[in-house]
Amino acid sequence: MNMQKGKPEWWDKAVEHLSADPLLGRSVKLYSEGHLSGHGEIFQTLVRSIVGQQISVKAADTIHRRLEELCGEIDRESISACTAEEVSSCGLSRKKSDYILGIATSEIPLLPEGFEELDDGAIAEHLVQFKGVGPWTADMMLIFSLMRPDVLCLGDLGIERGIQDLVPQAVTKRQMLEVAESWRPFRSAACWFLWRSLDPFPVEY
């Protein structure tokens, strides 16, 4: 299922909005040459997200590259043709390998019919029915594949750390939501800039 590729159409408006923010503006101006980038295929984003669960961006890139060497273009058909042992040999745990293979061979569509008209919560509810897809992975798909502009991924340790670097006293989810309120309606872009401020490798899924 093909999605948008490259820079989101709303990105320039997001940069304009966030660059004026007293907390995030400095990072936005520092990294404004980059942008969130979609790869155009939702299954690829799903695989990247599962690969990237609880490991560094650099490690995830290495494993994903090995998967591409094994399968060629990563899609449901190419992954389904592999065994769990072959997928694990790329550096994945057996559990992650089983998740990826399970989703590849599932008859359930990755997105519900008419998803374009659904809100973020409804799409996330559909996604988390797949074993291995939790709220964090659903958020990654909303941000990096569906290019939804206002997703705040508070299940991500990097986002929590980035917000606390800006406002050290923001320690609860409620306090972090309050910090991020002024970033609406472009909290997906805010997440990207928070990640970028913490990691020399731009986050991609």
123 alpha carbon, distance to own chain's centre = 14
Residue 172 DSSP code = S
Beta bridge partner(s), residue 6: 38
Which of 197, 196, 153 lies closest to 37 in space, CA to CA?
196
Q: For the CA atoms of the chain, what is the radius of gyration?
A: 17
Expressed in angstroms, the distance from the first to the final Cα of the chain is 15
Q: Report residue 159 as tokens.
A: 């986002």
156 is catalytic: yes
Of 21, 139, 156, 165, which residue is the catalytic one? 156
User: Which active-site residues does the annotation give?
Assistant: 156
